[in-house]
């Protein structure tokens, strides 16, 4: 029997709380649980400064998952920081950009969610809006919580999934309604990526690789919050894991 594919899940820095907590690397259990339910062995990745260690971690992975999180440092796409840019985590930026670039070079499967799709776009040479208000004041609300208390699974805007994309083959083409918890978004699309979903205001809500040999896909919403309510959200994780399984079979035996 083929072993379950190992999926790397990146983390975020949690600063020390003096007298209570040392500096930590953390990530939501939700991603770990959803990927495990889809068939993965989850591997939570430290934001190590030792690139040789990171590379060895990467080489043991069958797929890379990029979760949601804080803003990317505009340094990463050579723009100066605006006051609207939020908290950043340079260690996380550095580790995620390295992992995605290695994965793109070697066609190792990548699935990216929310901040993850932004990281994917920047790693491939694109840029971001540091705040969507910078783009268009009439844009629909993308950091939108209609209810109190806040519910991460609330569906707040449509996206239109482009036909003839990998995303359409998994979720179906056309309109679907999604959650939205982001104040940044893709500005300049990276060369080598194609748009697979857009919001009604035109904002890019999903991208994928041009090369259909490898699974390289990101969405701006949070499908991990929708796996119980929407079957196509679950299918997205299952398609990623299936791709990581076949990558594992194709790879040199370890």
Q: Note the residues at the interface with Mn ion (CB under 5 A).
A: 142, 180
Tokens of 47: 């934001």
- The answer to whether the beta carbons of residues 38 and 241 sit under 8 Å apart is yes
Judged by DSSP in three states, 176 sits in: strand
Neighbours of 120 (CB within 10 A): 30
CB nearer to Mn ion: give 62 or 71.
71
Nearest residue to Mn ion on Cβ basis: 180
In the complex, minimum distance from the CB of residue 135 to Mn ion, in angstroms, rounded to a whole number: 12
Task: Give the Cα separation of 226 and 178 in Å (integer).
Answer: 9
CB nearer to Mn ion: give 97 or 140.
140
CB nearer to Mn ion: give 103 or 171.
171
Neighbours of 188 (CB within 10 A): 14
In the complex, minimum distance from the CB of residue 115 to Mn ion, in angstroms, rounded to a whole number: 13
Residues in contact with 18: Cβ distance below 8 Å, sequence separation at least 6, in sequence order = none
- The answer to whether the beta carbons of residues 122 and 100 sit under 8 Å apart is no
In the complex, minimum distance from the CB of residue 182 to Mn ion, in angstroms, rounded to a whole number: 6
In the complex, minimum distance from the CB of residue 18 to Mn ion, in angstroms, rounded to a whole number: 37
Residue positions annotated with a catalytic role: 114, 222, 224
Q: What angle do CA 2, 3, 4 make, to 5 degrees?
A: 115
CB nearer to Mn ion: give 12 or 180.
180
């Amino acid at each position: 029997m083929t072993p379950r594919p190992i999926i790397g899940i990146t983390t975020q820095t949690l600063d020390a709380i003096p007298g209570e907590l040392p500096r930590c690397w953390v990530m939501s259990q939700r991603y770990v649980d959803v990927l495990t339910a889809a068939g993965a062995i989850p591997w939570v990745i430290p934001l190590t400064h030792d690139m040789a260690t990171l590379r060895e971690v990467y080489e043991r992975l069958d797929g890379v998952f990029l979760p949601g999180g804080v803003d990317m440092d505009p340094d990463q796409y050579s723009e100066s920081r605006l006051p609207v840019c939020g908290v950043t985590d340079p260690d996380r930026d550095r580790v995620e950009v390295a992992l995605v670039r290695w994965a793109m070079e070697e066609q190792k499967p990548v699935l990216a969610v929310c901040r993850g799709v932004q990281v994917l776009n920047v790693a491939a040479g694109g840029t971001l809006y540091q705040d969507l208000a910078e783009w268009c004041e009439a844009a629909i609300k993308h950091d939108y919580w209609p209810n109190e208390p806040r519910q991460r699974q609330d569906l707040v805007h449509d996206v239109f999934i482009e036909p003839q994309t990998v995303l359409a083959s998994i979720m179906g083409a056309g309109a679907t309604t999604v959650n939205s918890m982001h104040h940044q978004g893709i500005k300049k699309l990276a060369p080598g990526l194609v748009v697979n979903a857009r919001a009604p205001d035109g904002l890019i809500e999903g991208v994928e690789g041009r090369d259909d040999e490898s699974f390289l896909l990101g969405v701006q919403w949070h499908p991990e919050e929708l796996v119980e309510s929407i079957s196509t959200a679950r299918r997205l994780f299952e398609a990623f894991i299936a791709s990581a399984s076949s990558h594992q079979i194709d790879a040199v035996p370890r």
